[in-house]
A and B are shown apart, each in its own frame.
Chain A
């Protein structure tokens, strides 16, 4: 038998005793692991081609607003190019919050890993050159802001392959790109005075 006391938000006093409400606890509320579907040999691609396309949908089913944040963990990436071609794996993400949210399709440039190594001017023949580059994993934290009770957050992530700039047929070409995977995690904490 517990003594009941009068509580305001974020505290519960019931037959079990006095405790914090679930909304008070910062927590991991949704997670998504996505793998690349196109790793391996690549070719000229002026338009962006998605290697990874993933999303999270999460509804705040509690009684209080929460502060949300996403961590976007990208795998180590590897690219092999031949002179003079540029290979790029861009990261892009978008989000929307509402009763029925729809985040726009993510596009982005100059936001990811890539290499180019041009060893002759365009008026000279291409010479044999290969450049190999591995990039360590990286994490971005993106604040999404307030999700009111009953509303849903829609977060989308894409890893996009493209070959910006000029393109020539290399000597003994070797063109490879690996995006491997991306892991999305949605974090929640109470929306309280002082939170931005």
Chain B
């Protein structure tokens, strides 16, 4: 049965002839994925210990007959960095996105966030020891737009990926003056969540 006066891409006509809006003609929360917090401790004067911490991806397939606007939100949980000088260390957030009929997983290479600290009291004993200090900063959870708002044709897939990386501009290699028993180089990343939202492209 056809209904020449009703656009069935926009409206759903029930068997009894009544009709209402199609479910996809609305702003919708369509996909989510999350990763738990990581808690890592590092060698305070061990030199370069840069490493990727985690990767997380969310994807959604537009199963409606019309194009959808799709955007992603990234929620980064509360983070803690405790740092022994002269390290100048941070947690970086990278994102990447891909769309298509069957897109490959994107590479998360666009830097959108960096949280870190550092303090430098110099060195002693003819530059053979680093001066003690211990700096900690904490950042609260926050939600941010991740990537573009894209138009996703019917049947196509959108993938959004995030990568957390532990890196530094300077890595301490000298031993701590008077010992490193109270020195600490550690991170708590907080949980990471990706959410996708879609609304119709009219």
A-side residues, CB < 8 A to B, are 5-11, 20, 24, 26, 67, 69, 71, 74, 77, 84, 86, 88, 90-91, 108, 110-124, 133, 135, 138-141, 143, 189-190, 192-196
Contacts of B73 in A (CB 8 A): 141
Q: Is B143 an interface residue (CB 8 A)?
A: yes
- B6 to chain A minimum Cβ distance, whole angstroms, is 10
- B42-75 residues at the A interface, CB under 8 angstroms: 63, 73, 75
Q: Which residues of chain B come closer than 8 Å to A195, judged between CB atoms?
A: 28-30
Pick the contact of A8: B20, B134, B179 (CB < 8 A).
Answer: B20
Considering only residues 116-143 of chain B, those with a C-beta below 8 Å from chain A are 119, 121, 132-143
Contacts A86-B136, A117-B133, A138-B142 given: A111-B190 contact, CB under 8 Å?
yes
The one of B12, B17, B119, B182 in contact with A117, judged by C-beta atoms closer than 8 angstroms, is B119
Tell me, in angstroms, the Cα distance from A39 to B16 when the chains sit together: 62
Assess whether B94 is interfacial by the CB under 8 Å rule.
no
Q: In the complex, what's the smallest C-beta–C-beta distance from A169 to chain B, in angstroms?
A: 18
Q: Name the residue of chain B whose CB is nearest to the CB of A118.
A: B134
Q: Are A110 and B138 closer than 8 Å at their CB atoms?
A: yes
Give how many B residues have a beta carbon under 8 Å from the other chain's beta carbons.
46
A-B pairs, 8 with minimum CB distance = A111-B78, A6-B18, A114-B138, A193-B23, A8-B20, A116-B136, A192-B23, A118-B134
B104 interface residue per 8 A CB criterion: no
- B residues within 8 A CB of A5? 18-19
Q: Hey, which chain A residues are within 8 Å of B78, CB to CB? A: 90-91, 108, 110-112
Which residues of A sit under 8 angstroms from B139, Cβ to Cβ? 113, 135
A114 to B133 Cα, complex, angstroms: 17
Interface string of B7-29 (1 = CB under 8 A from A): 00000101011111101101111
**Given known contacts A6-B19, A141-B75, A114 and B136 CB-to-CB distance under 8 angstroms:** yes
Does B178 count as interface, using CB distance less than 8 angstroms?
yes
In the assembled complex, B80 has its CB within 8 A of some CB on chain A: yes
Contacts of A120 in B (CB 8 A): 132
* B157 cross-chain contacts in A, Cβ below 8 A: none
Interface string of B87-123 (1 = CB under 8 A from A): 0000000000000000000000000000000010100
Contact A113 B23 (CB under 8 A): no
User: Is B167 interfacial (CB 8 A cutoff)?
Assistant: no
Q: Are B142 and A143 in contact (CB-based, < 8 A)?
A: no
Cβ contact within 8 Å between B31 and A196:
yes
B24 neighbours in A (Cβ, 8 Å)? 193-194
Answer yes or no: B32 CB below 8 A from chain A CBs: yes
Determine the chain A residues whose CB is within 8 A of the CB of B12 once the complex forms.
8
* Whole-angstrom CA separation of A112 from B79 in the bound complex: 8
